[in-house]
Amino acid sequence: MRVLFLLAIVLAVAYTASAVPRPQSPRRCRSGEVWRTCGPACQPTCRNRQGACPGRRCVAACNCISGMVRRYPGGICTRICPRIG
């Protein structure tokens, strides 16, 4: 009886441990990018330097390194933006 009780406890612990969400593993980012598990939902771009998304939570993704912005949403990171106009 004791063995069955211990087995039930071990199975319960194993089941709960498998249900705990694991942090998303880093992926390979392009040049000028770094992986962040909690980066901005909207990243700064040449047209929108603030990259603000009111009411949006952080997301795990590749983000431009400091001093760089995306040319356009989802585009490459750059230090120099083309002239808009």
- Any idea how long the chain is? 85
CA atoms of 37 and 18, how far apart (whole Å) = 20
Note the helical H segments in the chain. 2-19
Is-contact 71 81, C-beta < 8 A?
yes
Q: What's the pLDDT score for residue 49?
A: 85
Return per-residue pLDDT of the chain as tens, 85 residues: 776 666 666 566 566 555 544 555 567 899 999 999 998 888 999 998 877 777 778 889 999 999 999 999 999 999 999 886 5
